[in-house]
Every structure is written in structure tokens, then in C-alpha cells.
Amino acid sequence: MTHPSSWKDTEVRCESGTSVPDRYSALLPLVRNLKLRMCLTDPANRKTALWVLRQAVARGDGRLEGLSICCVGNTPLFYAGQDLQQGLVDILTNGSSLTVLDLKGVPFTLSDSFVRSVAMLCPALQSLYINNHSLVCGVNAETLRQVLKSCRSLSILGVFQASLSQDVLKDLMLPERPALKKLELRCERSLKYTVPLCDQIWLELKLRHPCLWVELELDHTLPELHVPGVLQPSIPVRCLRLLTWTLLLDEVRIVRQSYANTLEVLELQTIPSPELNSELIALAKQCARLQEVHCYCVVSQEVITAFITNCPNLCRFTLKTHKEPHPWTSRLK
């Protein structure tokens, strides 16, 4: 168990309020990719998680390359995560070799100052995910531009779309930047206060990075009138999650017209209707690349038949003809 390969990919759960036995302090520096899973309700769990990270970073001689933080349980009322954000910055100050940082699993708002500090302390980052499920976006476009200046090898980026601007996308198109492989964008209420991105800038980005693919997630807080402005036709959307619980007839029509050649994963949270069934059948006939379809409302049997018949790559789907107790489970084709 002391061989380095045994600890290359390690998940540590801090959920019981107890500390990690001291005997592990000599093994944590062997970790290459660390996933920290913690329950926020007890401050002792947060303290233990930071201790684990400190052992992996400070004593690891640059071994730690990937870090993912996931929080479970109920978030304490008014908890803003300052102790975790400051603790992470303090630990990384001692030296960082991180190439992957995934903070999608934290529930609190990530501040501008925190993201700027992390970018300066982790210049080798190639993948950065800050598109977490906080209520609002706390990172502005200028901070994101600073991240791109500090982390010149970034090729995978997960952010709130409210953090993007035309200047950010232009920075991503600079000739000295590496090929951009993936953008994960979370779209929520903060988009009300930003300037919409035009289709032309997406077309230019796609031409500069022909292998780029985009994952879009639209949540229920995004005002309905802003949805069409998000779904620009030149975005190379491979994965689309429309989690709005609104009527999506126009949106499904836009999807099949704009993303038929790229879309592989589609998730819908919407309201059932005969019109929706018709739109989904038309989508199934046009989006032949689909590998996954998840629709969290009842559909007709004709919809299921259309996807199975017209999408040869379909391997997983959630399509129900009658209501079932939640959570609904997906099926393998």
C-alpha cells in the first residue's frame, strides 16, 4: 500500500467530524490526483480537509497535479466559504504544480480575489472549473482575463457565462494561446446584467479553435426571454442541459436547427405537451449524433421510437411515457 501507484488517484472523505489518522500523513504526499469530499455542516470536516490538502501539497514535492473539491450535506446558513477559500490560497502559496483544479462541487460563491490568487499561484493549470452551483456568479470578465494571462496553458475552462465578454473570447483567440478544447458554461440569472455575446464572436472562436466543443447548462433562474440569446447558432454545442422547467418548444426547434451536426448529449426539464412530442420527434430525425437524451417529463411512445430509430449512437436515455417516483433512472439502449 505504500507504492506510489497505489495512491495516484485518491478520494478522501471528510464527513464524520473526525481527523485523519497520522499514519496517512506519510502517504498523502504520494497522491497525484486528489478528490476531497467534505460535509460542510461540521467545521471539523473543513479543518480536516485542509489538513489533508496541506499534506499532499507541502510535502508532495510537486507530485499533486489534480485537485477536485466536492461538498455534500446541507450548507450552513450564511456560510460563504471564506475559510476554505483562504485556506486553499494559503496552502497553494507554498508552491503548486496543479494542472487541474475542479471546484464545481462547492456550493458557495467564488470571489474575484480568490480566483485571481489561485490563477497566480497555479500558472501550470491546463483545466479550471469554477462553474459551480452557487446562487450568483462572483467572477467578472476582467478577472477571467487575468486568469488567462496567468495560466497560459489553459485549454479546458468551466465558468459562468456571465463571466465571459467579447474581450475574454478575443483573448482566447490570440495566436500564442494553445488550442481550446472545451468550454463548460453555466447560464443563470446573472446574465440579465451582462451584454449578450453575438453569434459572430462565436463563429470567430470556432474558426480559431476548430476542435472546440461547448457544454451549456441553462438553469431555472435564467429569465425565459434570455434563453434564445444564449443559444447562438455558431456555438459548437456538444452537450446541452435545458434545466428551466419552462415551455421549451422554441428552444428545441432552435437546437435541432443549429446544433444537429454537433449535439451528443441533451437534457430537458420541461412541461409535457403534444407539441413538445412533435418537436422532439423532429429533433430526433435531425440530431443523429445524439448519444444521450434525458427528458424529465413524460413523452409519447412515438418520441422514444424516434430516438431509438434515428440516433444509431444512442447509448443512454431517460424517456418515460408515464410518471414514476423520482429520481428517474436512465436506461441503456
Residue 264 lies in a domain: yes
Residue 213 lies in a domain: no
Taking residues 137-160, report their average pLDDT.
98
Residue 2 has pLDDT above 70, yes or no: no
Residue 331 lies in a domain: yes
Which pLDDT does position 306 carry in this prediction?
A: 98
Residue 148 lies in a domain: no
The DSSP secondary structure of 300-332, one letter per residue, reads -HHHHHHHHHH-TT--EEEEESS--SSSP--EE
Residue 297 has pLDDT above 60, yes or no: yes
Look at residue 200 and give its three-state secondary structure.
Answer: helix
Residue 289 lies in a domain: yes
Query: Please, which pLDDT band fits residue 60 given cuts at 50, 70 and 90?
Result: low
Residue 242 lies in a domain: yes
Range of the domain at 287: 236-333
Query: Please, which pLDDT band fits residue 276 given cuts at 50, 70 and 90?
Result: very high
Which pLDDT does position 256 carry in this prediction?
A: 97
Taking residues 40-63, report their average pLDDT.
86
Neighbours of 282 (CB within 10 A): 15
pLDDT digits (tens, 9 = 90+) for 222-235: 999 999 999 999 99
Please state the domain count of the chain. Answer: 1
pLDDT digits (tens, 9 = 90+) for 128-137: 999 999 989 9
Which pLDDT does position 1 carry in this prediction?
A: 58
Residue 71: all three cell numbers together: 461538498
- Average pLDDT of the chain, as a whole number: 93
Residue 275 lies in a domain: yes
Residue 47 lies in a domain: no
pTM for the model: 0.94
